[in-house]
């Protein structure tokens, strides 16, 4: 599959921000991203020995938490498009030999059907060219009865907070990004991608249309992030 225009510039963006990604994430989320990640992992209901796929794994922060949950008798695969992000992930995840990192595309996963107990995607759906296709791929590789968890940034609902959040993402994020990377563009893109990403109800409908059941959506931190959890029907 030839990379789309979006995939090509995603690689350029993430190459630029990879070295400072974890630090900037902590700063711009005021450390809340740890809480969002923990909640997502908890909702994924992982068991020791599970085989788990972390799509758009980036620097591997979620991947590491997944590996701790499934233990050495399990297996975690972290997949990402960006070699620069995967390079940092490899450094961060050295202590977990049961993690495998794969360079690949969320829209055409290089795995057979029905092989993972859990699939997880953190801040990835907003970044892929076709979120529906990414979800369909997560569905395809899940074992029947398996569970998916998707964590994503969102727009708060409350009007005043929405306005403040909009100003924060439009003005402060590019500024912080510039300080750490010398380039505002990746963080201007972050603002744009949050504003244009479909509402949680629309994402819930896409999950259902693909065939997921028990689709549940939770908003955290006054709607700054949402977590969708769902099952692939099965035994």
Binding site for ligand SAM (CB under 6 A): 7, 10, 14, 56-58, 61-62, 80-82, 85, 105-107, 122-124, 127-128
Task: Closer to ligand SAM by CB, 85 or 203: give it.
Answer: 85
Task: Closer to ligand SAM by CB, 84 or 142: give it.
Answer: 84
The distance of Cα 226 from the centroid of its chain, to the nearest Å, equals: 11
Task: Closer to ligand SAM by CB, 1 or 160: give it.
Answer: 1
Q: Which two tokens stand for residue 128?
A: 């892929």
CB nearest ligand SAM: which residue? Answer: 58
Q: How far apart are CA 232 and CA 117, in angstroms?
A: 10
Give the nearest distance from C-beta 159 to ligand SAM in angstroms: 27
Give the nearest distance from C-beta 160 to ligand SAM in angstroms: 27
Task: Closer to ligand SAM by CB, 9 or 49: give it.
Answer: 9
Give the nearest distance from C-beta 58 to ligand SAM in angstroms: 2
Q: What region does 31 belong to: left with phi over 0, alpha with psi -120 to 50, or beta?
A: left
Q: Which two tokens stand for residue 222?
A: 């006054």
Sign of CA dihedral 181, 88, 112, 229: negative
Give the nearest distance from C-beta 180 to ligand SAM in angstroms: 15
Task: Closer to ligand SAM by CB, 8 or 163: give it.
Answer: 8
Give the nearest distance from C-beta 161 to ligand SAM in angstroms: 22
Q: Which two tokens stand for residue 163?
A: 């306005």
Q: Which two tokens stand for residue 42?
A: 């908890």
Question: CA nearest 105: which of 229, 4, 15, 197?
Answer: 4
Indicate the angle between helix axes 61-70 and 32-44, nearest 10 degrees: 40
């Amino acid at each position: 599959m030839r990379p789309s225009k979006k995939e090509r510039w995603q690689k350029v963006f993430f190459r630029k921000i990879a070295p400072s990604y974890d630090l900037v994430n902590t700063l711009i989320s005021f450390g809340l991203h740890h809480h969002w990640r923990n909640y997502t992992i908890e909702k994924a209901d992982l068991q020791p020995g599970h085989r788990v796929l972390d799509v758009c794994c980036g620097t591997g922060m979620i991947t590491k938490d997944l590996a701790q949950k499934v233990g050495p008798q399990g297996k975690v695969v972290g997949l990402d498009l960006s070699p620069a992000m995967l390079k940092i992930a490899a450094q961060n995840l050295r202590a977990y030999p049961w993690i495998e990192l794969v360079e690949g595309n969320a829209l055409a996963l290089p795995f057979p059907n029905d092989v993972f107990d859990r699939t997880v995607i953190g801040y990835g759906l907003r970044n892929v060219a076709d979120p529906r296709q990414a979800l369909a791929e997560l569905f395809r590789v899940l074992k029947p009865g398996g569970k998916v968890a998707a964590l994503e940034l969102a727009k708060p609902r409350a009007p005043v907070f929405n306005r403040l959040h909009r100003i924060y993402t439009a003005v402060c994020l590019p500024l912080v990004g510039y300080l750490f990377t010398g380039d505002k563009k990746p963080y201007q893109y972050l603002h744009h991608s949050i504003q244009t990403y479909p509402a949680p109800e629309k994402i819930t409908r896409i999950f259902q249309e693909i065939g997921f059941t028990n689709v549940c959506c939770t908003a955290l931190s006054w709607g700054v992030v949402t977590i969708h959890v769902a099952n692939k029907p099965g035994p």
